[in-house]
Structure 1
């Protein structure tokens, strides 16, 4: 009788052990398959989060680090504004990953012919009341914020839809010199239209410039009355958009552009990490202790924090189940082989080769593993989705508790809960069983079966038939 027939009869004859082994292999397969499926789902969710945030990286002064250093040294107040030299960062824009770049600058201005938009509360309150901004001696209180841009269409508020054009055209690199875009409410207050000319004066240099309105915008951003009293010029209705070169001509002493930040739009969100690393090498002269490349990392981590925890846990599950399952299976096979010592000894005495006996054990175990694999495949989608839902719900709940604890305000509707709700989090993941995942499970399962059979079998079959039979209890 060849070893294949013996393997088949052995599987049928040992129904109890076959069933136990089938259950163990099915559990191992289901958990490993779920682990890989969860990791793939987490990776896909992370990529979607990056796409949602946009493939943009902003070069700016590391304000958080500045504040921490000032607090550590006992200094108070806001750090001095630091501009970025255009020459120092042009090399970054030349990298192949960059699709477009938007250089941003800022200034403030007043105007003798254009009145800023004010709130009713601000009009009826004392200008020196609570929250009012007090300007240093010698400086003029600004009426407007001037935003120097390369293109309005590259602004995050524009792409997100919170800033829109209602008349005329948005400011771009192709716009005529000395063009300006103002808010439709500011235009209505002053009876201005597209094509009109306004004259504004920079508060930093007291130089004036005539600008031609090429477009009217609207913003969904709202400012409270307290905010208006404190800094009405920062409200969206009192903000103007001009070209960087235009702003530099009259708002700086030397007429050169002084950038507050640079926003790089990349071709692929997946290249953000590599771009940040390479950009520091491309602009090696830049003080990277002062500046930082921000790719909305805080928002990204908030969005994908729970799913990364789930992916990390599932990875640990794969390792733990593979090792523990392999050891349990090896122990079960070892006990089975010891029970069959007489059978093995007689077959060896009859001239059967040791390799054939090992092949018989492998065929038996792999046959059971094949059935277990089919069970895993049939139930894998449901199992992996159930595990994903349970784990993700737990992580989201823990994240909510963490925010509430950190803010010091508990309870539903408290500031901690409001903060959590204001940040978009990924609370759902859909797992898919792909062929690559099944191949991974099959490879791990085959390795576990192979080691579980070979180790105990070789330990027994290295003895000669007489020794095996004499050891029979």
Structure 2
């Protein structure tokens, strides 16, 4: 009789054992498929998060390297704008901007908004004027914290034009609108220039809440074109020097290549600076995803290995119970490889049915279970974010045990939803794993029996 037909008759004749084997395979298939589906869903959610945040690398002051040099003071590092332009021209870069800042004074009838900190670090009438190449790439504008109410952003085309972005409260206090002029005096109060209001933006922070970087009222911060602010503060000597830069890359995976090229091109000009990938927002958003992926992977392996062990025991028992059958077939001239093929075919047929059944209900159950797990992890992550408290005004937070670097990123809420979708490739993966487990579990006991001769099999008994 053909071994394929014998396999079908054997499965039908041993319905109880077939159902037990099917149930075991079904558990293995469902758990492996659930793990694969959760991995796929979380990977897709992470990719979507990267696209929403964007691939960003920041060139900023490296406080660690500066502190290691000793000496009597700390000099803020500067880098030539022409060097930054070379980095911005690299193929990995989509857009870039750089900035520098200094103190400036409003001149004449123009006044700052009242209600700021009692201590004025910039002196009476002084505020921070930040020169930027492209204001639309500033983090607060990109993440939606700042809103441009009227006018336009400052761009590279405006680099040397005397233009400003001002906060709406400062505009209202001085009756300014887009196109009006405002006069600024340099830090040393020796140079004065008239600037055009190019845009008015909104900062949602209260005017009484000191802006942490400059300890000033947010209502009084100024953003100008980098060339005009630099010209206001310089003596007309030397090239444009900037203090920080932001590079928006074409792809998040290009960060490593960009950093390597940047170090090669800039060389020692990067001394005192660090190139940091702005992946904190992505980590904050994807933390719950990584947690449930880890949980699902562990559960998948535990259940898969346990199921495989049970399956191996069942097959071993079945093969030993069929010693007499094998002995008769071998005595009739059947080849050993066909007997092993018959046993493998029986397991393979059961595995195919189990995988097919698991593909019908596993995605729905995985969606429900994965969503429940993710909801708990996201809630815990949000609770941790909400509990973070900034250091008191004027304090670094170190004495209070607060790390300012742990400050949560705004508009980067932990992801609390995933979409599970079954892909043909997933079934291929599960099928390969399931069939591999089944064939391995079959081959070991079957080969042990078939090493014996037909006479030994038939006379040895159980």
Displacement after TM superposition at 1:161 (Å): 4.0
Q: Which residue of 2 aligns with 1:24?
A: 24
How many residue pairs are counted as aligned between the two chains?
445
Out of 429, 434, 444, which is 1:445 matched to? 434
Runs of 5+ in structure 2 lacking a partner?
A: 390-401
Matched, 1:180 2:164: yes
**In the TM superposition, what are the counterparts of 1:116-195 in structure 2 within 5 Å?**
116-119=111-114, 121=115, 132-133=118-119, 135=121, 140-141=123-124, 143-175=126-158, 177-195=161-179
Question: In the aligned structure 1, how far is the partner of 2:287 from the partner of 2:209?
Answer: 35
Q: Which residue of 2 aligns with 1:392?
A: 374
**In the TM superposition, what are the counterparts of 1:316-331 in structure 2 within 5 Å?**
316-331=298-313
Q: Which residue of 2 aligns with 1:434?
A: 423
Displacement after TM superposition at 1:87 (Å): 4.5
Displacement after TM superposition at 1:429 (Å): 1.5
**In the TM superposition, what are the counterparts of 1:29-108 in structure 2 within 5 Å?**
29-63=29-63, 65=64, 81-108=76-103
Quickly say closer, same or farther: Cα 1:234–1:401, change in 2 above 3 A.
Answer: closer
Matched, 1:285 2:280: no
SS at match of 1:116: coil
Question: In the aligned structure 1, how far is the partner of 2:17 from the partner of 2:322?
Answer: 13
Question: In the aligned structure 2, how far is the partner of 1:339 from the partner of 1:469?
Answer: 12
Q: CA contact under 8 A between 1:392 and 1:427: conserved in structure 2?
A: yes
**In the TM superposition, what are the counterparts of 1:264-279 in structure 2 within 5 Å?**
264-272=247-255, 274-276=257-259, 278-279=261-262
Displacement after TM superposition at 1:317 (Å): 3.6
Out of 451, 459, 463, which is 2:452 matched to? 463
Question: In the aligned structure 1, how far is the partner of 2:52 from the partner of 2:307?
Answer: 40
TM norm structure 2: 0.85
Quickly say closer, same or farther: Cα 1:339–1:274, change in 2 above 3 A.
Answer: farther
Question: In the aligned structure 1, how far is the partner of 2:33 from the partner of 2:414?
Answer: 26
Quickly say closer, same or farther: Cα 1:167–1:3, change in 2 above 3 A.
Answer: closer
Quickly say closer, same or farther: Cα 1:232–1:438, change in 2 above 3 A.
Answer: closer
Q: Which residue of 2 aligns with 1:359?
A: 341
Q: CA contact under 8 A between 1:84 and 1:259: conserved in structure 2?
A: yes
Runs of 5+ in structure 1 lacking a partner?
A: 123-130, 408-414
**In the TM superposition, what are the counterparts of 1:170-319 in structure 2 within 5 Å?**
170-175=153-158, 177-203=161-187, 205-225=188-208, 227=210, 234-253=216-235, 254=237, 256-272=239-255, 274-276=257-259, 278-287=261-270, 290-319=272-301
Displacement after TM superposition at 1:27 (Å): 0.6
Displacement after TM superposition at 1:464 (Å): 1.0
CA RMSD after TM alignment: 3.4
Q: CA contact under 8 A between 1:66 and 1:79: conserved in structure 2?
A: no
TM norm structure 1: 0.83
